[in-house]
Structure 1
Amino acid sequence: MAETAWPSEQLVIAAQRGDIASVTALVSGSYPGVRRFAHTLCATPEDAEDAAQEALIILYRKIGTLRASGALASWMFRIVRNECLRRLRLVGHRPAPVADIATASAEDEVLQRLEAGRVAEAIAALPADQRHVLIMRDIQGFPGRAVADALGLSTAAMKSRLHRARASVHRTLRGGMIDG
C-alpha cells in the first residue's frame, strides 16, 4: 500500500510563522492524507468530503496553535475524526443509496442500514487509542508494524489494543442482536 507523504516539518514551521505561501502549500499538501482519513472514518462519502474540507479550513485558520510541528498527521487525524463523529451525531447515519433496487427487498435494505449504523456506532464508542488502531489496521489496511510506528507503540501494544477493540466491537454488536 503506497502511503502519501505529509508536508515537511520545515513547511509546517514556516506556516506557523505566518508565511502565506507556506500555509497554502501546507493545506494543499495535506489534502491527500486528510481526504484518506475522512473516507475511512466518516459514514458516507459526502460526509467524508465535507469533513475533509472542514479539517483543511481548521488547518488554515489554526496552524499557529499546533504545538509540535512534527505532529501534523496526528493533529489532522483528530480533527477529521471529531468532524466525522460530529456529523454522525448531528445528522445520524444516512444510508448509502442502494445500487440495484430490483435485487434488494425493502426489508433487506433496512437491515443493511441498521447493521452499518450499529457497526459505525460501535467503532465510534471505542476509546480513542483502540479506535485509532482498529481503523488503521482493519479499515485502512495498514500493516501492523506501520500502525504501531504511526501511533508510537510497540507491536505487542498495538496487537493488544487491536484485540481489545475487536472484542469490544464484537461484544457490542452481539449484545444488540435479537435471537429468533
Structure 2
Amino acid sequence: MNRRFRWPDERLIKAAQNGDVTSLTTVVMESQPHVRKFALTLCASPQDAEDAAQEALIILYRKIGTLRATGALASWMFRIVRNECLRQARLFVSRSDEAAAEPEAGAQPSAEDAVLRRLEAERIAAAVSGLPHDQRQVLIMRDVQGLPGHVVARSLGLSNSAMKSRLHRARAALRHSLAQTDQAPEQASGQAPGPTPDQTSDRAVGRPVGGGP
C-alpha cells in the first residue's frame, strides 16, 4: 500500500504528543484523507462533510495529547467525525421542528414544551443519523433542507425516478425507526399510543402528512 494512504504510525504520533511540531503537522496531514473519507460517508452533504473533517482535524491538532493509546487514532477520529455529523443532523432537524411548531402570536411556549421539543428533535436526529448514507443524504436534502426534487436528483447524480425511490425508502426506514422508539416507552408505561410514525416523521422533517416527494 502506498505510504500516503496509511494512518500515521505510532512512533510519529508519540513524537507529536511529546510536542514535536513537525511530527504533529505530519500526523494531521496523513490523517486528513481518512478523516475526510469518514465524513463523506457519515454526513449528509459534501459541505457538512468538509466542516466535520475540518473540526476533527482541529481537535486532533489541539488535543492529540489526550489520546491515551497511540494505536487508537483512527477510532478516535471516527468518533469525532460521527459526533459532528450527528450534531449537524440535529441542527437541521431542530430548525425544521421549530419552524413547524412556531407558537401563535402572543403565545409563550412553556419550559416543558421547550424541553419536549428538544428531546423530540434529538430523537429524530438520532433516527436520521442511523439511516444508511444514501438514504440519509437524500432525506436531509429533500425533506430537511427543502431542496427541489430535481436539484436533489442532479446533485446526487440520479434520475428523478431513482431519487424518488430512494427518498421513499429513506422515509419508510425513518418511520420504522421512530415506530420502534415509540413502542418501547408506551409498552413499558401502558399508555395509549401517540401519533402514528407517519405523522411524527412528517412533522419532524417539515413535510405535510402524506406529502409527496
Output the TM-score relative to the length of structure 2.
0.48
1:9 lines up with 2:10 in the alignment: yes
Q: Which residue matches 1:99?
A: 154
Q: Secondary structure at the match of 1:28?
A: helix
Deviation at 1:43, TM superposition (A): 1.2
Q: Where does residue 66 of structure 2 map in the other structure?
A: 65
Which residues of 2 match residues 1-180 of structure 1 at below 5 A?
4-92=5-93, 93-95=140-142, 97-99=152-154, 104=160, 112-113=166-167, 115-116=169-170, 119=173, 176=197
SS at match of 1:81: helix
Q: What is the alpha-carbon distance in structure 2 between the residues aligned to residue 122 and residue 15 of structure 1? A: 46
* 1:72 partner SS: helix
SS of the residue aligned with 2:60?
helix
1:82-109 per-residue CA deviation (whole Å, 9 max, x = no partner) reads 1111111012333473319xx638xx96
Counterpart CA distance in 1 for 2:88 and 2:172 is 16
**The residue matched to 1:97 in structure 2 has which SS?**
helix
Q: How many residues align?
A: 123
Instruction: Check whether the contact 2:48–2:88 (CA below 8 A) recurs between aligned residues.
Output: yes
Aligned equivalents of 1:83, 1:55: Cα separation in 2: 8
Residue 110 (structure 1) shift:
7.1
Q: Quote the Cα distance in structure 1 between the aligned partners of 2:72 and 2:15.
A: 15
User: Which amino acid letter does the alignment assign opposite residue 104 of structure 1?
Assistant: N
- The 1:20–1:63 alpha-carbon spacing in structure 2 relative to 1, beyond 3 Å, is same
What residue ranges of structure 1 are gaps of 5+ in the alignment? 124-174
Is 1:35–1:49's contact at 8 Å kept on the other side of the alignment?
yes
Aligned CA distance change for structure 1 residues 82 and 119 (closer, same or farther; 3 Å): farther
- Name the SS of the counterpart of 1:99 in structure 2: helix
SS in structure 2 of the partner of residue 67 of structure 1: coil
Return the letter of the residue paired with 1:88.
Answer: A
Equivalent residue letter for 2:29? S
Identical counterparts, % of pairs: 54
Q: Deviations over 1:97-143 (max 9, x none)?
A: 3319xx638xx9677546446658989xxxxxxxxxxxxxxxxxxxx
Q: Following the alignment from structure 2 to structure 1, what is the Cα–Cα distance between the partners of residues 57 and 12?
A: 16
For structure 2, which runs of at least 5 residues remain unmatched after alignment?
94-139, 143-150, 178-195, 200-213
Amino acid of the residue matched to residue 82 of structure 2?
R
Give runs of ≥4 in structure 1 deviating > 6 Å: 108-111, 120-123
Indicate if the aligned counterparts of 2:176 and 2:197 stay in contact, CA closer than 8 A: no
- TM-score by structure 1 length? 0.56
